[in-house]
């Protein structure tokens, strides 16, 4: 049986106003239109209000403006979506690794481990590795020499940390993450490529989350840096010497070229491509599938690209674009005759 909580205890955790039976037991979280007895749900926007009157949930987290329309127990807060986020961890069924080091683990020399370390089967841990208290490492992870991992950080299966990487406290690295692989540095010698060995490392702050199969390259001479609280989705590529400011969020399939600096509190949409050697200031939002080719110095929302359209319409657009050069030439000629 999963976790269960009294509604009054959840309301207290959220510093919420409770209207209803605080002794009701909550066993799970469910969507507003599908919730049944035992579930707590939430109303995050007016778009879902049509489901409120008919909900079968035991309780609803909602704003005061919607409380009168709620037929069940009410947990009243200023930001229902944030409240849902705060209690979601209480119902997370993800398994934990048992405290201790599995017998199949390969351990290097001169390591330093804190209290309550949990290491699952078939992990490889190199020389001089430092693990803080409560670090949890799932199966088949590889941790290179001289890696430092802060307290309560969790590595899911098949994470690879190259030598010298540093990760802060309370971080989460999902399956397939690779941190510290070589940046893409080459010098051209008459058509042939001479590899530039990457001599920096990667430094990741506290409370950072890296999505599955995300890769972060080590710096060429200085470190690649991910500051505190950054959240990165799946399949993101971060090249060498990039710096990402605190509390920036990056959606899936973003590619960031080398030596780019992204400020704090930014939001980068899915599929965005960001050029190298540019800077993006704090509090910038870049919408999905945009291409950022030059620095952004003013906070705000930025977009580029052409949205999907019917195939025939797209070919008409392409045809007209191909005629633009000729059209501009003719306009310039007419201007000169005036």
Active-site positions? 240
CA-based angle 119:234:222, to the nearest 5?
Answer: 80
CB 100 within 8 Å of CB 119: yes
152 CB-near residues (< 8 Å, 6+ apart): 132, 133, 134, 135, 136, 169, 170
Q: Which residue has the tokens 């909602």?
A: 62
DSSP classification of residue 68:
G
- HEC profile of 220-258: CCCCEEECCCCEECCCCEECCCCEECCCCEECCCCEECC
Nearest to 17 by CA among 50, 53, 54, 64: 64
């Amino acid at each position: 049986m999963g976790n269960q909580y009294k509604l009054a205890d959840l309301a207290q955790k959220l510093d919420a106003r409770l209207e209803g039976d605080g002794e009701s037991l909550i066993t799970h979280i469910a969507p507003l239109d599908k919730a049944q007895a035992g579930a707590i749900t939430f109303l995050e926007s007016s778009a879902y209000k049509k489901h409120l009157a008919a909900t079968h949930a035991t309780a609803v987290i909602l704003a005061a403006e919607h409380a009168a329309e709620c037929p069940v127990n009410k947990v009243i807060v200023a930001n229902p979506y944030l409240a849902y986020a705060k209690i979601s961890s209480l119902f997370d069924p993800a398994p934990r690794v048992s405290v201790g080091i599995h017998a199949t683990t390969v351990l290097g020399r001169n390591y330093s481990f804190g209290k309550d370390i949990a290491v699952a089967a078939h992990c490889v841990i190199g020389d001089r590795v430092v693990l803080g208290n409560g670090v949890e490492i799932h199966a088949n992870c590889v941790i290179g020499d001289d890696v430092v991992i802060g307290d309560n950080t969790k590595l899911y299966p098949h994470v690879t940390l190259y030598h010298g990487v540093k990760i802060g406290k309370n971080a989460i690295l999902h399956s397939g993450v690779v941190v510290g692989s070589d940046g893409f540095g080459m010098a051209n010698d008459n058509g042939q490529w001479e590899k530039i060995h990457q001599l920096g490392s990667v430094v990741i702050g506290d409370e950072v989350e890296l999505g599955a199969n995300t890769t972060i390259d080590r710096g060429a001479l200085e470190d690649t840096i991910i500051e505190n609280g950054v959240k990165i989705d799946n399949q993101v590529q971060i090249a060498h010497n990039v710096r990402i400011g605190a509390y920036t969020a990056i959606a899936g399939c973003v590619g960031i070229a080398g030596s780019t600096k992204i400020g704090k509190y930014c939001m980068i949409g899915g599929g965005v491509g960001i050029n190298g050697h540019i800077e993006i200031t704090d509090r910038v939002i870049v919408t999905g599938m945009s291409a950022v080719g030059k620095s952004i110095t003013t906070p705000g929302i930025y977009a580029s690209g052409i949205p999907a359209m019917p195939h025939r319409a797209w070919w008409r657009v392409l045809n007209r674009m191909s005629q633009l050069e000729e059209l501009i030439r003719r306009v310039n000629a007419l201007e000169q005759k005036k």
